[in-house]
């Protein structure tokens, strides 16, 4: 309903900025949190690049690692989209550098939202909290949870899993009337609003700049950032979304060889550096041992992980864009921003 106030945490991020854009277009009042007030102009520029006038956006300083600022951030809010979460280009040596802000930050937001009488919080989680540490022999669904015991799954996977688990536990134990819904995107692509790149888009840039001699013999899944944002808005207001998780994925997995070929076919000379040679698994694993930023690629080797967005489509009427369209949109913007070497 227009005029209602929505708090978006992490408004300077890829997903957060698009959530703000779509909320403004739908007539909501928007407030967003920043770790530093100096980033307000950055958020305004991101929103302006997508079309809406950013003038009405309210800004509040708040950090996931501190209590200060959160009561003011949620005051008077009808809904909260908790999008903010650390997602560095590579896993830190100490997993707690990601786990603590992700988990404790989610609990701070939920506690403040409950105390302020917020109706519903939509938490941005990830497929990382669903599809690792096990292979069910069928497409992954929202009923699945990443199993953290055993193999080294990396700090990001641990952080997203533990943060989402903690959020559901909090709401079930002491959330009172507060409702929670969760969105679990796979790798997010789509049009860029600025040069600050997400991890998934950074991977595309590395391919376009020929930073590796080949691609892993594995697959990834993709979804458009505009559709991830629209799923947040649906999960925010739909009466059947409370207490539910929603996978955000567009179509079937794409192999890295198919992805490389797609870039070459669609971008022509701009993608001339993209490697199409498929590397042996041992080489990818060895590279991951030497370079932490390549470690995630080793987790994508082997049989494809397949996930379904059937629940979001059936329950909320969500319809994602074509997978390839999302990937190519990011790649073309990387070229247009001058980030691809000639």
- The whole-angstrom separation of Cα 305 and Cα 283 is 21
Catalytic-role residue among 160, 264, 305, 323: 160
Cα separations in angstroms, 181 against 237, 275, 290: 10, 40, 39
- How many CB atoms within 10 Å of residue 333? 20
Q: Are the CB atoms for 299 and 152 separated by under 8 Å? A: no
Cα separation, 213 vs 118, in Å, equals 50
Residue 260 phi/psi, 5° resolution? Answer: -60, -40
Structure-block tokens of residue 99 = 């786990």
Decide: 299 and 155 in contact? Cβ < 8 Å.
Answer: no
Q: Which residues pair with 6 in a beta bridge?
A: 30, 79
Q: Examine the residue annotation and report whether 160 is marked as an active-site residue of this protein.
A: yes
Residue 16 CA from chain centroid, whole number: 9
Q: How big is the CA angle at 93 (ends 89 and 94), to the nearest 5 degrees?
A: 110
Measure the CA–CA gap between 89 and 206, rounded to whole angstroms.
Answer: 12
Q: Which tokens go with 24?
A: 């403004």
Q: Which residues are within 8 A (CB) of 265 and not within 5 positions of it... i.e. 6 or more apart? A: none
What's the first-to-final CA gap in the chain, in angstroms? 48
CA distance 114 to 99: 22
Q: How far apart are CA 242 and CA 121, in angstroms?
A: 9
- Alpha carbon of 25 to those of 6, 13, 50, 57, 282: distances in Å? 13, 18, 10, 12, 49
- Locate tokens 């008077």: which residue? 76
| Catalytic residue positions, numbered | 160
């Amino acid at each position: 309903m227009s005029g209602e106030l929505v708090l978006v945490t992490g408004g300077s991020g890829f997903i957060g900025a698009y959530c703000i854009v779509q909320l403004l277009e739908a007539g909501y009042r928007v407030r967003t949190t920043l770790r530093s007030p100096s980033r307000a102009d950055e958020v305004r520029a991101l929103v302006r690049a997508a079309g809406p006038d950013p003038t009405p956006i309210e800004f509040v300083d708040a950090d996931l690692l501190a209590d200060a600022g959160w009561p003011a951030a949620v005051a008077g809010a009808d809904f909260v989209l908790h999008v903010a979460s650390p997602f560095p280009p590579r896993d830190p040596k100490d997993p707690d550098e990601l786990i603590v802000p992700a988990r404790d930050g989610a609990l701070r937001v939920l506690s403040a939202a409950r105390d302020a009488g917020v109706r519903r919080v939509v938490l941005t989680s990830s497929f990382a909290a669903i599809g690792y540490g096990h292979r069910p022999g069928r497409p992954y669904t929202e009923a699945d949870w990443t199993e953290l015991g055993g193999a080294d799954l990396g700090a990001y996977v641990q952080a997203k899993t533990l943060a989402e688990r903690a959020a559901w536990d909090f709401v079930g134990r002491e959330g009172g009337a507060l409702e929670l819904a969760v969105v679990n995107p796979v790798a997010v692509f789509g049009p860029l609003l600025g040069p600050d790149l997400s991890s998934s888009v950074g991977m595309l840039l590395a391919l376009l700049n020929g930073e590796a001699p080949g691609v892993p013999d594995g697959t990834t899944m993709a979804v458009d950032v505009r559709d991830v944002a629209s799923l947040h808005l649906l999960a925010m207001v739909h009466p059947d979304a409370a207490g539910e998780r929603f996978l955000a994925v567009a179509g079937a997995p794409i192999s890295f060889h198919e992805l490389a070929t797609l870039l070459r076919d669609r971008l022509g000379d701009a993608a001339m550096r993209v490697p199409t040679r498929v590397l042996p698994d041992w080489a990818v694993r060895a590279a991951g041992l030497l370079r932490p930023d390549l470690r995630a690629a080793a987790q994508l080797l082997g049989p494809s992980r397949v996930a379904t967005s059937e629940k979001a489509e059936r329950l909320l009427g969500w319809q994602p864009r074509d997978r390839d369209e999302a990937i190519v949109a990011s790649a073309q913007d990387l070229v247009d921003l001058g980030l691809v070497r000639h």
